[in-house]
Each structure stands twice: as C-alpha cells, then as structure tokens.
C-alpha cells in the first residue's frame, strides 16, 4: 500500500466472522485467514494506493469505506465495509490501474497475495464469492471502458465535424458581411444615378450589360488567366482615356465584360455617370458571387447535417433494412477531416447490394472502429510511404461482404489471434484501450455475422460478412 505510515495492527477472527463475505466458513479457516492479515488504519481522505503501485495484497474493508478511481474513468468504484478488493484469486492484476483513498476513517485488512492459492483450498465458499466478485469487477471495468471509448470516439468525430462545419460556416459569415457592404454601395450608386437624366440608349445599354453579367455568372465558366489579364489591361487603358480611375478594370474583367461591350458608354454618358454605372455593374457581379458562396456554404453545412443524421440513424427504428454501402460512406464522411493529402481512399462499391436487417447505428460502430484503426495505421507510417485506405463491398450468396483495408505496417502474426480480446492493443501506451475490436466482434456476433482479418506488412484487411434475408 502507498501509505506505509498508517497504523498497523493484527486482525482478530471475530472481525471477519460477522461478515457476509466469510459466511459458512469454519472458525479454524477464519482464524487461519485472520492470522495472515494485517490491518491498516487510514484517516478520511488519506491515499491508500496510487496508479502504478504494485498490487500485492488481497484486501478486506473492516470499517469505513474505500473509493477507487481509474485514471481514464470519471466514475468512482466504492468498496464499503465487509467487501473485498485488491488482488483476488486467479486475478492477473499486477499493478493498480488507478488511485484509492479512504472516504471516511477506515480500517483495511491486507493479506499477501502469495497466500491466495492456499486460501482457495482452505476456504472454497469464500473463494467462490471472490471469483464472482472478480468477474463482476471485470464486467464493470469493461462497461466503463466501453463507455469511455464511445465518448472518446464521439469526441473525435465531434472535433472533426466542428472543423468541417467551421469552414463553411465561417465562409457564410464572411460572405454575409461583405454582402451587406456591397448592397450598401450599390444602393448609394443607384440613388446617385437615379438623379441623373439618362438617355434611353444609355439605360438600355446598362440593362444589357447587367443581363450579360447575370448570364455569365450562371454559366460559371472559368476565364483563362492570360485572357483575363489582357481584358483587364484593355479596360484599364480605356478608363484612363475617358478620365476615370483604372481601379474598376479588375472588377469589370471578373464580371466577364469586354471593352467592346462597355466602350459605347463613352458616347452616351459623361465620365461621372459612367463611373456610377460601372460601379453598379461591378456591385451586381459581386452580389451574384457572394450569393453563390452563401449557397455553396449552406449546401456543405446541410450535407454534413444529413450525413450525421444518416450516421446516427436519427428518427429511425433501431432494427431496419439497412443500406450497408450508405452506412459505410456516411461513416467515411465523418472521418473526412483526417483524410488529408497523404492518404488515398480507394473505394470499390458494388452499388446493388441487398439490404441487411440490422441495427444501422451498431453497424456504423463497426465501420467507425475499423476505419479509425486503418487511419491510425496509415498515420503512423513514415513520410513518403504509400498510404491507402481501401473499402470494398460485394454481394455473396446469402451475405453482404465488406472489406476495409490499409497499407500500414500490419499486425504481427504472433498476436493476430489476440486482437479481438478485450484490453489487448498493439498501439502505444495511452493511444488505445484495446476495446475497439472487442466491441466490433460483439456487434458482429449479435447480428449472426462473421469477421476475419488478413495482415502482412503493407496490407491489412478486415472482412465482415453480414447475412441477409
């Protein structure tokens, strides 16, 4: 225990005999257990063990209450008086995975774990209860770890979605802000032009130029850079000849107008009115561009929202006829923020798969874990290495086949048989809890499906077979 300064004393058999934990054991056995225990006294709030301490003792709380907390969980594990903790029979526990402290003034009896083998034979009823307690503890930790993993995965997806949403949202805000300024400038020009007496020819020409701008904006055909530069140069020279600043030349060229189209204005309007008219035309073009940017940003946001709804199967029954390919694609969309230039996504989708009767949200957890692991493998490769995420679907007799592969370092052959075991991971310490594939395996089995893996350096493929009706 961490607190070696805590007061120590012996444990009397009477202190154990009244506990339900030791019910049914003979007095001789209880006396043997008590003789091999030492009682530690802890003040309220005093630390008992810390993360990483060697786990060397079987513990029984005699008085008070002990709290434990693993570093990756928020939940507390509470051990009241009369219950056991620490190293239990057949436990593989070597170190404490979290910290423990006395919630109130407490006394804890400790037996060295080296006596557990003999305890199992001397106290079979107690051993049975302790094994049950260990099994329940494992279930509890697994549930907590799975919950923590789901929160971590949700956090990753949320961060990615926030990043994805931030770009179009920021673009929409910028466009809306600029749009207000352009509208104000156009309104000011329109008021100024309204006070002038324009000839019918001048009004018709300005209207025609406005229609040309709208038509060309709808076509959205990009202009060659050299052509645009030449057009801008011609317009700048013309503006200077009529006594105007050449600052309007760039905007007019962007709007797709040519010197042949705007040149006749010089014969119909004085320079001041030409400047106002061209300013209005330039503003009209900017308004069209900003409206297009707002529309594009809104479509991107709407697309992301639809992807999230499809991924979570919002407002749908838990069990339904699921389009597997749609689920794979919307899951891949959730990882768009991680698929950067160095990673190539190669998709080979059947396009006509039969629907699968399944929990769509649960299937998406499968694709989420497999794609997440594949991206982790690719991101760990050295610079310049081939990084390919491959997704393939295929219809088979009575089943739908989904393959998710990567060109990472591969899974060592000697550990491939253990990758679906809870808490086993090939990732570095702190980078994985070893429950992702265990969760995938459980979901696969709950759907009466099967999964296999083939791995070698440079190629790993997980294959899921989902039965259909």
Same domain, 247 and 346: no
| Inside any domain, residue 149 | no
Residues linked to residue 450 through DSSP beta bridges, in sequence order: 465
What contacts 369, CB < 8 A, 6 or more positions away? 153, 436, 437, 439, 440
Domain finish residue from 283, 304, 325:
304
Same domain, 77 and 206: no
| Inside any domain, residue 131 | no
Same domain, 184 and 96: no
pLDDT digits (tens, 9 = 90+) for 364-392: 888 988 998 899 889 888 888 889 999 99
Same domain, 215 and 291: yes
| Inside any domain, residue 130 | no
Domain total in the chain: 3
Same domain, 59 and 172: no
What contacts 373, CB < 8 A, 6 or more positions away? 436, 437
**Which domain range does residue 407 map to?**
317-467
User: Which pLDDT belongs to residue 34?
Assistant: 93
| Inside any domain, residue 152 | no
Confidence of residue 60 (pLDDT cuts 50, 70, 90): very high
For residue 428, pLDDT beyond 60 = no
Domain finish residue from 122, 148, 173:
122
CATH of the domain at 52: 2.60.120.10
Same domain, 166 and 287: yes
Residue with tokens 């219950």: 83
Same domain, 78 and 164: no
By mean pLDDT, which of 94-108, 140-154, 228-242, 310-324 is the weakest? 140-154
- Angstrom distance (rounded) from CA 308 to CA 330: 8
* 3-class state of residue 69 by DSSP: strand
Residues linked to residue 57 through DSSP beta bridges, in sequence order: 112
Mean pLDDT for the stretch of residues 267-279: 86
Q: pTM for the full model?
A: 0.48
| Inside any domain, residue 144 | no
Same domain, 201 and 247: yes
Same domain, 273 and 193: yes
Same domain, 460 and 382: yes
| Inside any domain, residue 226 | yes
- Angstrom distance (rounded) from CA 466 to CA 170: 41
| Inside any domain, residue 150 | no
User: Which pLDDT belongs to residue 4?
Assistant: 38
Q: Cα-flanking dihedrals φ and ψ of residue 385, to 5°? A: -75, 150
| Inside any domain, residue 2 | no
User: Which pLDDT belongs to residue 37?
Assistant: 94
Confidence of residue 73 (pLDDT cuts 50, 70, 90): low
For residue 344, pLDDT beyond 50 = yes
Same domain, 275 and 369: no
Q: Which residue has the higher pLDDT, 358 or 138?
A: 358
Same domain, 321 and 457: yes
HSE (side-chain half, CA atoms, 13 Å) at 7: 8
- Angstrom distance (rounded) from CA 148 to CA 162: 20
């Amino acid at each position: 225990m961490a607190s070696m300064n805590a007061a120590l004393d012996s444990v009397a058999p009477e202190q154990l005999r009244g506990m339900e934990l030791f019910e049914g054991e003979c007095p001789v056995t209880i006396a043997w257990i008590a003789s091999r225990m030492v009682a530690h006294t802890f003040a309220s709030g005093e630390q008992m063990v810390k993360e990483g301490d060697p786990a060397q003792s079987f513990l029984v709380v005699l008085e008070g209450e002990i709290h434990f907390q693993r570093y990756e969980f928020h939940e507390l594990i509470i051990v009241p008086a009369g219950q056991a903790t620490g190293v239990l029979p057949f436990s593989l526990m070597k170190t404490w995975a979290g910290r423990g402290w006395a919630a109130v003034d407490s006394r804890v009896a400790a037996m060295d774990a080296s006596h557990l083998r003999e305890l199992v034979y001397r106290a079979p009823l107690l051993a049975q209860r302790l094994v049950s307690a260990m099994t329940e503890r494992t279930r509890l930790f697994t549930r907590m770890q799975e919950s923590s993993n789901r929160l971590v995965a949700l956090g990753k997806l949320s961060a990615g979605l926030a990043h994805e949403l931030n770009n179009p949202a920021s673009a929409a805000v910028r466009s809306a802000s600029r749009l207000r300024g352009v509208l104000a400038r156009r309104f000011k020009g329109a008021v100024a032009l309204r006070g002038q007496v324009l000839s019918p020819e001048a009004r018709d020409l300005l209207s025609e130029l406005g229609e040309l701008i709208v038509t060309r904006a709808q076509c959205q055909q990009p202009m060659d850079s050299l052509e645009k530069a030449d057009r801008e140069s011609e317009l700048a020279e013309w503006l200077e000849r009529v006594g105007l600043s050449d600052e309007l030349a760039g905007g007019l060229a962007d709007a797709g107008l040519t010197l042949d189209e705007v040149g006749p204005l010089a014969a119909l309007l004085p320079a001041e009115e030409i400047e106002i008219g061209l300013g209005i035309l330039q503003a009209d073009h900017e308004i069209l561009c900003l409206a297009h940017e707002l529309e594009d940003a809104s479509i991107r946001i709407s697309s992301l929202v639809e992807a999230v709804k499809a991924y979570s199967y919002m407002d749908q029954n838990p069990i339904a006829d699921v389009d597997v390919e749609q689920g794979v694609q919307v899951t891949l969309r959730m990882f768009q923020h991680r698929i950067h230039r160095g990673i190539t996504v190669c998709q080979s989708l059947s396009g006509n798969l039969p629907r699968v009767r399944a929990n769509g949200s649960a299937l998406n957890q499968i694709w989420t874990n497999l794609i997440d692991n594949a991206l982790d493998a690719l991101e760990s490769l050295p610079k310049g290495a081939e990084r390919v995420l491959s997704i393939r679907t295929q219809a088979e007799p009575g089943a739908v086949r989904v393959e998710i592969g990567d060109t990472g370092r591969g899974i060592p052959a000697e550990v491939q048989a253990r990758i679906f075991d809870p808490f086993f991971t090939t990732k570095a310490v702190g980078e994985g809890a070893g429950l992702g594939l265990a969760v995938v395996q459980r979901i696969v089995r709950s759907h009466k499906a099967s999964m296999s893996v083939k791995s070698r350096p440079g190629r790993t493929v997980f294959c899921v077979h989902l039965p259909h009706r």
